[in-house]
Structure 1
Amino acid sequence: MTKSRIRAAKPDTQPHFDYFYDKPGSLPGTLNIGVDAQPPVIVLIDYNEADATRQTLATPEECLPYLDTESVSWVDVQGLGSEDILQRLGQVFNLHPLVLEDIVNVPQRPKVEDDYEDHLVMIARMVIPKESGGFHSEQVSFILGKHYLLTVQEEPEHDCFEQVRQRIRYNKGSVRKLGADYLAYTLIDSIIDGFFPVLEAYGEQMEDLEDEVITKPTRQTLNKIYRVRRELLNLRRAIWPQRDAIAMLIRDDNDSLISDRVQVYLRDCYDHAVQILDMVETYRELTSGLMDVYLSAVSNKMNEIMKLLTVVSSIFIPLTFIAGVYGMNFNTEKSPWNMPELNWYWGYPLCLAAMAATAAGLIYFFWRRGWFENFSDVQDRTSRKRG
């Protein structure tokens, strides 16, 4: 096995660095199928402005009659669990071994490769919100030809393309009036729009965390903040290169496969990607601020506890001192050095006077140091002077 990935210790958390990499010395173009990968299902949707058909294909070779027709053929491969089918799929669509490796060996960094004559390659990340919080993330690969579009999904159960399928089926919008490049734009736009529900859920979590940090911060609160910050980092790693990939699609070098009309739509898709990236960065800054507020709240709570303990200690220190002095009852008849003050006529008043003088001296010292001055009063006087 040449499959290597950096994985987190906990299976329920998404790692910061989860890109695929080959072991040193492995053969280029080697396909590594995950043990939990589902068998691929090939779904073909062939349509033009007048008609649309949908069917499930048994073999990749059944796609061949649809690749050179004037209609648009969308071949959607759902699952990566068969190396034989994927290799045959690469032969049918004339895919370079390294392109097939990028499609199969997930996850890859989102990118666009336009160095091939008859097709264009794009790797994207699709996110779907979870009901329990967080999000699913999977890789979607696009192979765009003149009259066809091949998509390969990592996990078919997490899909945001259903509305596009319905638009093709019921001939809504312009999807059946335009070519395969518009279909590719529509699917990419669905992927980009899929980030917004995820970010909306994180926005609600941020509001709840703000209330929790201010009213009742606990250790679990810090864990929640860290988890949200970690997941936002994963979102940033998904949308940042995807924005750059969309920018590459807008370049003039792709005129043979992407028309000027579709490039206008892609510019709007690029604007959405930039907006999502701004939202992710804003939320990440808010999580940093929440961490600072949490630490301040915990520090203030600790200060209140120390203040209470200090007051209690200050009350009992003189009592302890008095009890300690009067508890040292040495017999003066045995030795003149055994506390002769116990036999003084004015010993008790002098002892109280010494205690009062000590307390007064400490109060004067604390007053000279400014420890009795209220900081809020200082701020009020400062503001009055400035006014």
Structure 2
Amino acid sequence: MLQESYPKSAKPIDPIQDDEEEEYDEFDYAYNEPGSLPGTLIIDEDATVPNIFLIDYHADNVTGMQLLHPEDCTPYLESESVSWVDVQGLGSEDVLQRIGQVFKIHPLILEDVVNIPQRPKVEEYDDRLLIITHMVTPKNDGIGFISEQVSFVLGKNYLLTVQEEPEHDTFEVVRERIHRNKGSIRNQRADYLSYCLIDTIIDGFFPVLEDYGERLEDLQDAVLANPSSQSIDAILRIRRELLLLRRAIWPQREAIKLLIRDDSTLLSDSVRVYFSDCYDHVVQVIDMLETYRELASSLMDVYLSSISMRTNEVMQVLTVISVIFMPLTFIAGVYGMNFNPQVSPWNMPELEWSYGYVTCWALMIVTAGTMIIYFWRKGWLGKTRIAKTGRS
């Protein structure tokens, strides 16, 4: 979803593109203006006009089509088959209100569906079950992810799903299973369909987390090899994105737990068993997420340690160089005093040597060379020092 044309909760998560203009809206939940009436719908001016798709199926037959008007799905809702109505886009209040009338949705349910983003949750109204989830998909460039709210309204023989945008849909695999009659989905009711879709949403977190695992490995190598200000930006960016992922998945764990423990007649006992498996997937996602968050936090310590080590290495090299020049400075100072051996009672016989100048140079070169070789063997210079440090 493009940042300039999509609702704020469906924007690509890219927090360091422009530090001056970034407002970090992804942490906000939707809220109504003080004094507004319950059930007030807030439509984003950039939201996509809704497209309505219907899949009606039973064990022997399946029908799929795009509906021009919400009222066109009424005959299917009155049948004994399972009707899945998928609404993609939230850009028309009139269409959304008509959908609410067709499905006899409570105004508060419609408000939670339309006014995004909402916290993932499960609520029961009369003979309908509202499920709010957050779906994430990797960005095309593999850096970051796209977050989108998906709302479920579960009835006895139907399931209404409402997505923010049509371009980042992970439900195609479920549609294919229905059309090709794979598995037992066409022999089950609408509650099983809701499980399949929610399980698809949860499984969508795994490829996103795998991308972060690879990014953290690359970033760790970069921090150890060449720490820089870009490393700090990358670490802060990953930590922030992982925090957004945590906000998306943690409430969904509680929501799925409610589905398992709820005594609603809309969910059969057999489907609750499947939701238990879905809950295990959520726990696995959370474990991976917490591990990556700890790694991202530890990278900051690794960065500071790398900077400190590089500083110490520079200071060690400078110290070694200073130590090498100390005896040379002493020798040059002694023979630079210019005492006249004809006048001084304590003469310096070396000043009268024919090869005194060459001898002095030879002494300084031998002294400096000996110290360099000694320091090298001790591992205080060059690659030998780095190799020994790495082995330790």
TM norm structure 2? 0.77
1:308-323 aligned at under 5 Å gives the runs: 308-313=317-322
Aligned to 2:277: 268
Kept after mapping to 1: 8 A contact 2:8/2:25? no
Q: CA shift at 1:289, angstroms?
A: 1.6
Determine if the alignment matches structure 1 residue 127 to structure 2 residue 118: no
* 1:124/1:242 contact within 8 Å kept: yes
Between the aligned partners of 2:348 and 2:58, the Cα distance in structure 1 is 110
Find the aligned partners of 1:75 and 1:160 in 2 and give their Cα distance: 15
Instruction: Give the SS at the match of 1:31.
Output: coil
Q: Identity percentage over the alignment?
A: 64
* Structure 1 residues not aligned, in runs of 5+: 329-342, 350-373, 377-387
Q: Structure 2 CA distance, aligned partners of 1:162 and 1:51?
A: 19
Say how many residue pairs are matched.
333
Provide, for residues 296-353 of structure 1, a one-character-per-residue CA deviation record: whole Å limited to 9, x for no partner: 011100111122334445666898899999999xxxxxxxxxxxxxx9866999xxxx
Q: Gaps (5+ residues) in structure 2?
A: 1-6, 338-342, 350-377, 381-392
1:91 corresponding residue in structure 2: 101
Q: Does the CA-based 8 Å contact 1:120-1:144 persist in structure 2?
A: yes
Out of 99, 113, 117, the residue aligned to residue 107 of structure 1 is 117
Matched residue, 1:338: none
1:296 to 291, 305, 321: 305
CA, structure 1 residues 310+28, in 2 after alignment: closer, same or farther (shift >3 Å)? farther
Equivalence for 2:233: 223
- For each residue in 1:199-252, what CA deviation from the matched residue of structure 2 results, as whole angstroms up to 9, or x when unmatched? 111111122122222222222122222211111111111000011101111114
SS of corresponding position for 2:187: coil
What amino acid maps onto 1:93 in structure 2? F
**Corresponding residue number in structure 2 for 1:45:** 55
Structure-2 separation of matches of 1:123 and 1:169:
26
Q: Give the structure 2 partner of residue 161 of structure 1.
A: 171
Would you say the 8 A contact 2:62–2:179 is kept in 1? yes
Distance in 2 between the 1:96 and 1:184 partners?
20
Task: Report the 3-state secondary structure (helix = DSSP H, G, I; strand = E; otherwise coil) of the residue aligned with 1:25.
Answer: coil
CA distance in 2, matches of 1:290, 1:202: 13
- Kindly indicate whether the alpha-carbon contact (under 8 Å) linking 1:43 and 1:55 is maintained by their aligned counterparts in 2: yes
**Residue range with higher mean Cα deviation, 91-100 or 166-175:** 91-100
1:149 corresponds in structure 2 to 159
1:1-387 to structure 2, matched below 5 A, reads 15=25, 17-114=27-124, 116-132=125-141, 133-254=143-264, 256-313=265-322
1:17 and 1:168 map into 2 onto residues whose CA distance is 36
User: Partner letter of residue 303 of structure 1?
Assistant: N
Evaluate the alpha carbon distance shift between residue 35 and residue 252 of structure 1 in structure 2; reply closer, same or farther with a 3 A threshold.
closer
Change (3 A) 1:179 1:24: same
Equivalent AA in structure 2 for residue 146 of structure 1: K
What's the offset of the Cα at 1:184? Answer: 0.3
SS in 2 for 1:137: strand
Change (3 A) 1:148 1:307: same
Residues 4, 72 of structure 1: alpha-carbon distance in 2 compared, 3 angstrom cutoff:
closer
- Tell me the CA shift for residue 14 of structure 1: 6.1
Matched AA of 2:136: V
Indicate the larger mover: 87-96 or 47-56: 87-96
Q: Report the AA paired with residue 195 of structure 1.
A: F
Distance 1:13 1:285, change over 3 A: farther
Give 1:176 deviation, angstroms.
0.4
Counterpart contact for 1:4–1:21, Cα < 8 Å:
no
CA contact (8 A) 1:222 1:291 kept: yes
SS at match of 1:270: helix
CA contact (8 A) 2:154 2:194 kept: yes
Aligned-partner Cα distance in 2 for 1:176–1:18: 39
- Deviation sequence 1:31-64 (CA, Å, 0-9, x none): 1111210000111110000000011111111222
Aligned residues of 1:214 and 1:297 also touching (Cα < 8 A): yes
